[in-house]
């Protein structure tokens, strides 16, 4: 496993990081708690020392499970990445969307990152995680009702207090990062990125490279689509936001599976699965520091970690990119 620094922060993380949204249940169906704990342990034992979570993932449940797992791991060798700025317990800021918690109760999600709220959320995260510091504290989504400078001031305070080692953002555009930089030195930006969703390469990647900021890529497998396991006619469960998304139309699923068939021989030559090849490609792209990958059990966690052993030569990356250049997906 390769370990990489987040920006200039001094925080080093595993290039493949455990994504802990699914184990929190919310919008994903969850995982058995025992399986989730075993997945975290297996990840750590196989070199994945970093875990990315958020209070919103199960309204605290994901963080609580990670806190339980941390009791069996050396805290100084594990990097905890969590977030703030999505409130379900406070109607303040900008209304984001309606949802349901794990008990099927209706909840309203608000984007709010006022200074006092950020500080309060940090205390709640520390309590659920059972730790006295967070390695990377990230705003989950921009809050248009709060000046960016105010949110960044809160991160500066928390870092001065030793409660966080570094601060980052999620889903920020380059211009928002530039504004944040006037108040606080960010370590990273967590954004969606995959073989079939590469829009950040136009502006955000160059900005982050120029300013020595890390990019943490989420959904590198395009929420399962790049595993090759989804077929036309696939029926998504109730509430699954993939239904109706342009990537998951029958036509686009066929096109993507055709592309995957072309790179399958390369995966086999490496002794790797398609998923492992896709993850390896992701962390070897310019400007990409980390790929977040979820796992519900130990076997999935081990498979994800082993993607870190797949080394692609420049000509192999070029081959994959050439195949991608011919992939023309239909718009809805």
* N- to C-terminal Cα separation, the chain: 39
Which position among 57, 112, 218, 248 bears the catalytic label?
57
Dihedral sign for Cα 168, 171, 175, 176, please.
negative
Structure tokens at 181: 């930089």
- What is the separation of C-alpha 206 from the centre of its chain, rounded to a whole number of angstroms? 20
With vertex at residue 267, the alpha carbon angle to CA 263 and CA 272, rounded to the nearest 5 degrees, is 155
Q: Among candidates 269, 277, 268, which has minimal Cα distance to 309?
A: 277
Using alpha carbons, list the distances in angstroms from residue 57 to 62, 64, 87, 248, 319: 6, 10, 11, 24, 37
Whether residue 57 lies in the annotated active site: yes
H/E stretch holding 111 reads strand 106-111
Q: Among candidates 159, 279, 11, which has minimal Cα distance to 312?
A: 279
Q: Among candidates 163, 40, 152, 176, which has minimal Cα distance to 85?
A: 152
Q: Among candidates 102, 76, 78, which has minimal Cα distance to 88?
A: 102
State the angle between helix axes of 250-269 and 274-283 in degrees (0 to 180), rounded to the nearest 10: 90
Q: Would you please indicate which residues are annotated as catalytic (active-site) residues?
A: 57
């Amino acid at each position: 496993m390769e370990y990489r620094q987040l920006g200039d922060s001094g925080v080093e993380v595993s290039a493949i990081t455990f994504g802990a949204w699914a184990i929190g249940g919310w919008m994903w169906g969850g995982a058995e708690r025992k399986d989730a704990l075993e997945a975290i342990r297996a990840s750590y034992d196989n070199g994945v020392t970093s875990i990315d979570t958020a209070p919103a993932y199960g309204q605290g449940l994901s963080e609580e499970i990670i806190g339980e797992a941390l009791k069996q791991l050396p805290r100084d060798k594990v990097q905890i990445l969590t977030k703030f700025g999505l409130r379900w317990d406070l109607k303040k800021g900008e209304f984001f969307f309606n949802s349901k918690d794990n008990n099927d109760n209706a909840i309203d999600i608000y984007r709010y990152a006022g200074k006092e709220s950020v500080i309060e959320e940090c205390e709640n995260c520390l309590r659920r995680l059972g730790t006295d510091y967070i390695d990377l504290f990230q705003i989950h989504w921009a809050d248009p009702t709060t000046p960016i400078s105010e949110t960044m001031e809160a991160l500066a305070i928390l870092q001065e207090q030793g409660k966080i080692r570094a601060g980052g953002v999620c889903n920020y555009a380059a211009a928002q990062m530039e504004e944040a930089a006037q108040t606080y030195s960010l370590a990273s930006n967590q954004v969606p990125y995959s073989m079939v969703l590469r829009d950040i390469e136009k502006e955000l990647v160059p900005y982050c490279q120029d300013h020595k900021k890390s990019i943490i890529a989420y959904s590198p497998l395009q929420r399962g689509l790049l595993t090759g396991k989804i077929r036309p006619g696939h029926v998504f469960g109730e509430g699954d936001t993939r239904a109706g998304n342009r990537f998951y139309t029958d036509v686009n699923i066929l096109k993507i599976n055709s592309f995957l068939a072309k790179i399958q021989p390369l995966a086999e030559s490496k002794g790797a699965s398609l998923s492992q090849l896709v993850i390896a490609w992701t962390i070897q792209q310019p400007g990409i520091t980390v790929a977040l990958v979820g796992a519900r059990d130990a076997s999935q966690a081990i498979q994800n970690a082993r993607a870190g052993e797949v080394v692609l030569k420049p000509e192999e990356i070029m081959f994959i990119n050439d195949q991608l250049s011919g992939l023309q997906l239909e718009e809805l």
